[in-house]
Structure 1
Amino acid sequence: MPRSKKLRNREKILERKAGVKPGSITVPVEAYKPRFFLISFNESFLDEVEVSTYAELMKRVRAKPDARHWIDIRGYGDQAMLEQLTLDFRLHPLQMEDVVNDYQRPKVEEFGEGRLFIITRMLRWSPEFRSLDDVQLSLFTGSNYVLSLQSDYGDCLDSLRERIRVGKGVIRHRPTLYMAYAMLDVVLDYYFPVMADIGIYMEDLEQQVLREPAKSTLSEVLDLKSELVKLRRITWPQRDIMNELLRMDNSTIDESLKVYFRDAYDHAVQLIDLIENHREMSSSLVELYMSTVSNRMNEIMKVLTIISSIFIPLSFIVGLYGMNFSREDPETGRVFLYSMPELYQPYSYPILLSLMSILILFQIYFFYRKGWFKSF
């Protein structure tokens, strides 16, 4: 994730001011204008519509008290609407505060007459930024409705809407709590493609580490580790949600519905296992990077050692014959006994070059026999 995007997310979390009255609903400046969607249905009919105002939405809900309703509100950019929503559905102000401050940990709460308040997080992998995009989805369940709220217009629930439209499965024959389960199940199902995309990205990183372990590659691996920590922080509470729902009294969740929540619980456990595997693989990528860089450094040192080993004796010979001590005294003409007679031989220069070449060839042959060139 780019540094600027991380800082923006951190700023949103830190926007909450200390000392504010509990239950205060503060609409973020960047919040989208709300859009209102309603799907009303039972076994025999279906009515799906997008309305322009909250008043019209509630009018349609109240006109069909015998139907089941999915009230879908996307965007928080209307504080008066949120306050009226709190009154109409008898929600606690603290719950609505958690909805609007949408960086909450996934959780489930039971409140009044067996109603449930559930917070979950929808995920998407961004190939452009190589990071996780997560959007909070808040659910309120009632006897004949499920109220869903989210800050963004897009979500991952289109497949569920299509199932309701065509009447597939038992969703139109079940109580509204089953629809809440179906939403949670779809949200969890979309975690698996995210994990698959991350797995593909990790394989690409592994190839980059093996081919060209640049510093930018290490930075990408470390960013991925950070994203996996974030994913783990989101997924573990999802499992806790399912566990709490399974432990609720049968008067709240019928035993016939708990089998579905058990299935969702199994999905959450599978996701946690995948995340732990990916985290171990990301740690292995860091170790692989360090090992690859170390191996490349060793190869470089080997080349430099071979070059140095070849030129050290040559440098000794050149240095020895570069001293140029005079053979005779220029004043008396006396010839010194221990001077360098080779300096005045007619073929000394080609002979010395030949000896140096033979020495080079001998060293190369020696290194080859030792196996120093096998890894090149």
Structure 2
Amino acid sequence: MPKLKFQSDHHKIFSRKAGSKPGMLFVPAEAFAPRYFLISFSEQHFEEAELPDYEQLINKVKTQPELRHWVDIRGYKDDTLMGKLASDFGLHALQLEDVLNDYQRPKVEETEGNNLFIVSRMLRWSDAQQNLNDVQLSIFTGPNYVLTLQSDYEDCLDSLRERIRVGKGIIRHRPTMYMAYAMLDVVLDYYFPVMAAISNLLDEEEQKIILVPSKKNLFTVLNLKSQLAKLRRIVWPERDKLNELLRMDEPLMPEEMKVYFRDAYDHVIQLIDLVDNHKEMTSSLVDLYTSTMGNRMNEIMKVLTMISTIFIPLSFIVGLYGMNFSHQNPETGKVYPFGMPELYQPYAYPILLVLMLLLVTLQVYFFYRKGWFRSM
């Protein structure tokens, strides 16, 4: 087992210095202080506790080998914690590095002693911000324990804890690999409400774009497209992970467990279909927005064109008579044959207004017969 070395980092895990030695563990400065939870059970026995320190937790696990244990550690802000886990559970430094560098894609690896290291991502949907938050769940399986590590205090596994408490289902009668499957199944179950929330938002935006499109609708759709792309980057590795689990032979993957992982695999395939369909829908909504805005602009241009068409002849008439070419020179009295004699007619002004009104009426009637008003 390689010696573990730690280094605090004031940046996020994924921004740590490039070229660091493999297996060098960087504990983030913003990490939470660790909390230690232990659930120990058998078919007839159950106990659950939050323990004040790691020593009491590992002591309970070691002194009760006949029980199955769920060792749940939340928070990493302890430079000695990972070294203790490596010593007591036989964990490799590179796997612990993946735990601390908590933006790993979902995956599965074989560990010493025919055990597994599994990475999954727990999803949370924020209605207020309309974005997707994901937290890494690291799972280590053992002969009589499952060890889970996560950076946050909150997770989506409360329903599984309640099933163990009340002895509901077969989880107390199965080996620890079944508990690992149950965790993956619960994590995947929470993907579907996320998809439902995104689907509802897409339906709402579709109605808004059809009725009253705005730039806000476009920005919302583009944000949802980005969230779906992020979700796709999570779901596809989940499929690969489960596929790899199904290909494992005993004793890593007991044959009787494969039926459960096949069911989880089917759920992932369904999620992939939903993600792809919703992603196509976002592209369709962008096209719909562009088309709707184009149609609205065409309607506006149509109205402006009709107004311009009506006023063009009127502007021509008033412009023509605005030249004021007199029929007779007021100083010399000379008469010009090509002047404007109607300028001095007593009823020239009302006659011209009636003529202009008649012209407008004829134009409106022409537009009506053409059906231009019915298409507005």
Q: Aligning the two structures, in what range does the TM-score lie when normalised by the shorter sequence? A: over 0.9
Query: What is the aligned length?
Result: 366
TM alignment of 1:278-297, pairs within 5 A: 278-297=278-297
Counterparts in 2 of 1:295-374, with a 5 A limit? 295-374=295-374
2:132 maps to what in 1? 132
| Counterpart code for 1:260 | Y
CA distance in 2, matches of 1:140, 1:301: 65
**Which aligned pairs between 1:175-254 and structure 2 lie closer than 5 A?**
175-254=175-254
* Separation in 2, partners of 1:173, 1:14: 40
Separation in 2, partners of 1:14, 1:302: 55
The secondary structure found in structure 2 opposite 1:136 is strand
Residue 165 in 1 paired to residue 165 in 2? Answer: yes
The answer for the alignment partner of 2:94 in structure 1 is: 94
The answer on whether the counterparts of 2:38 and 2:72 sit within 8 Å (CA) in structure 1 is: yes
Give 1:87 shift.
1.4
Aligned residues with identical type, % of pairs: 66
Deviation at 1:108, TM superposition (A): 0.2
In structure 2, C-alpha distance between the alignment counterparts of 1:321 and 1:14, rounded to whole Å: 78
Give the deviation of 1:50 after TM superposition: 0.5
The equivalent of 1:122 in structure 2 is 122
Q: Deviations over 1:16-42 (max 9, x none)?
A: 211211111111111011111100001
Structure 1 residue 331: deviation in Å? 4.2
Unaligned runs of 5+ in 1: 1-10
Residues 44-86 of structure 1, C-alpha deviations (whole Å, 9 max, x = no match): 1101111110111111111211100000001111121122111
Structure 1 residue runs of 4 or more that deviate by more than 6 Å after TM superposition: none
User: What is the CA–CA distance in structure 2 between the aligned matches of 1:286 and 1:175, rounded to whole Å?
Assistant: 50
Quote the offset at 1:207 in angstroms. 2.1
Supply the distance in 1 between the matched residues of 2:239 and 2:193 (Cα, whole angstroms). Answer: 18
Q: How far apart are 1:169 and its partner, in Å?
A: 0.9
Equivalent in the alignment of 2:5: none
> How far apart are 1:186 and its partner, in Å?
0.5
Which letter does structure 1 place at the counterpart of 2:150?
Q
State the SS of the aligned residue for 2:27. Answer: coil
Letter of the aligned partner of 1:351 in structure 2? I
Match for 1:35: what amino acid? Answer: R
Aligned residue type for 1:127: D
Q: In 1, distance between residues paired with 2:39 and 2:33? A: 20
Residue of structure 2 in register with 1:105 after alignment: 105
User: What code does the residue aligned with 1:119 have?
Assistant: V
Structure 2 residue runs of 5 or longer lacking an equivalent are 1-10
- What displacement does 1:315 show? 0.4
Q: Which amino acid aligns with 2:116?
A: L
Q: In terms of mean alpha carbon deviation, does 222-231 or 130-139 score higher?
A: 222-231
Q: Give the structure 1 partner of residue 44 of structure 2.
A: 44
Per-residue deviation, 1:203: 1.2
Once residues 115 and 24 of structure 2 are traced to their aligned partners in structure 1, the CA distance between those partners, rounded to angstroms, is: 22
- Cα-to-partner distance string for 1:277-336 (whole Å, 9 max, x where unaligned): 000000011101111110111011001001000000000111111110021134431211
CA contact (8 A) 2:206 2:285 kept: yes
CA positional deviation for 1:13: 5.7
Cα RMSD for the two superposed structures:
1.1
Question: What TM-score do the two structures reach when normalised by structure 1?
Answer: 0.95
Q: Does 1:33 align with 2:33?
A: yes
Q: Which residue of 1 aligns with 2:4?
A: none
SS of 1:132's partner is strand
